[in-house]
Amino acid sequence: MLLTYHLPTEPSRHRVALWRELRRVGAVSLQQATWAVPARGEFIDAVMKAVDLIERAGGEAFAFDAAARGEGMAARLEALFTGEREHEWTEFLAECTKFDAEIDKEIRTKKFTAAELDEEEQNLERLRRWYRELRARDIFGTSHDEAEHRLKECIERLEDFAERVYEYGGGS
């Protein structure tokens, strides 16, 4: 589906709310005020929510079924959507690497405290939540096997770190 719209320039909070909603569902920005999503349940619901946001803000919205314009266009839009997901998976993997580096630093400096463990647990929960969100948007099945593997490694690293915190008395 394609969504194109016009919004008043002020107040900007309407544009920001719309942008956040479209990014949350994984919509692909094609150009200014034009976005694409797969024509499937939760994505169609998100477009309808976006249309509602636009109209409540005094704007105009138009939603089109891109597949009706031919298979070529649908395939190009699917490729754009898949490319966005691949980019998100790459960012996710980079965050897993940062998580590992942070655990390594805490082990190297022997910072085995309950507060540090709490912080790392929050970081891991953020990675888990992000992974679930990416999986939900990744309807065309980009390769997320590596991401799943890396998340499991992060979970194992945190378990190891938690054991060290307990052994050093930081978890008492």
Enter the DSSP assignment of 89. H
What global pTM score does this model have?
0.74
- Residue ranges of domains in the chain: 2-69, 83-167
pLDDT by residue (tens digit) across 88-126? 999 999 999 999 999 999 999 999 999 999 999 999 999
Burial class (CB in 10 A: 0-12, 13-18, 19+), 96: buried
> Where in the chain does DSSP place strands (E)?
2-6, 28-31, 34-36, 60-64
Rounded Cα distance, 123 and 64, in Å: 39
pLDDT of 172 > 60? The answer is no
Mean pLDDT value across residues 8-19: 90
Rounded Cα distance, 86 and 133, in Å: 14
CATH 3.30.70 holds for 2-69:
yes
The tokens describing 50, both together, are 């976006």
